[in-house]
Amino acid sequence: MWTPITGPHLNPWSYRAQRDPRGQTALAMGHPALRHTVLMQKIITAVHDQGIAFDVHTRSGHDLRVEGASAEHQSGPGPMELLLVGLATCSSTNVVEMLEKMRQSFSSLEVDVSGERAPEPPRIWTDIALHYRVVGDVDPRRLARAIWLSDNKICSAYTMLAATANIESTFEISRE
């Protein structure tokens, strides 16, 4: 049984996570009068190594090193780069699946992602451009439809980033 986390030692607008015996995390958040508890599964563990580097282990069993962009010698991608990695792979996965369902024949699909960040903290992404390059016998109208559906209906990463950034998608098709 969970009890809300309250007390004079906590800012009334703070949040605190606790773990129950089943490995779930309860997050009590908001003002005490509005407080609610959400049960969540742990997705990643980030362990500080040195400087601003973290070794990350994901629930799916993958390990990677993440390092802040201000590091002199980066030994892994930065957190803001990983947001764009998530966008590129989320959107591209949807586009590939839809092109296959549309019976569009292609031998490769690549996506380049460019972006601009706000000049002052928090340095969020403000403008993002995705450019798809597809090689194969693909109907441009179907590719445009697949990209539009991914961007506007399916891709969670796109939806999250679109809340703060202008995102534009373009494509080019090369015949084999």
pLDDT in tens, 3-33: 444 444 444 444 455 555 555 555 555 555 5
What the block records as the tokens of 75 is: 């030994």
Res 18: pLDDT: 52
Burial of 123 (0-12, 13-18, 19+ CB in 10 A): exposed
Greater confidence (87 vs 16) lies with 87
**Residue percentage of the chain with pLDDT more than 90:** 67
pLDDT at 98: 98
The token pair at 125 is 């992404």
pLDDT at 97 over 80: yes
Helix (H, G, I), strand (E, B) or coil at 118: coil
The strand order across the sheet containing 63-67 reads 44-48, 53-58, 63-67
In 13-151, beta strands by DSSP E: 16-19, 24-29, 36-41, 44-48, 53-58, 63-67, 105-117, 125-137
**Considering the entire predicted model, what is its pTM?**
0.76
Distance CA 156, CA 90 (A): 8
At 42 the pLDDT is 87
So what's the pLDDT on residue 130? Answer: 97
Query: Where residue 1 falls among pLDDT bands split at 50, 70, 90?
Result: very low
pLDDT band at 71 (very low <50, low <70, confident <90, very high): low
Q: What is the pLDDT of residue 30?
A: 52
Q: What is the CA radius of gyration of the chain?
A: 21
In this prediction, residue 5 carries a pLDDT of 47
The model's pLDDT over 157-168, given as tens digits with 9 standing for 90+, comes to 999 999 999 999
What domains appear along the chain, each with residue ranges and CATH number?
1-42 (no CATH), 46-76 (no CATH), 79-174 (3.30.300.20)
- For the segment 49-76, the average pLDDT, to the nearest whole number, is 86
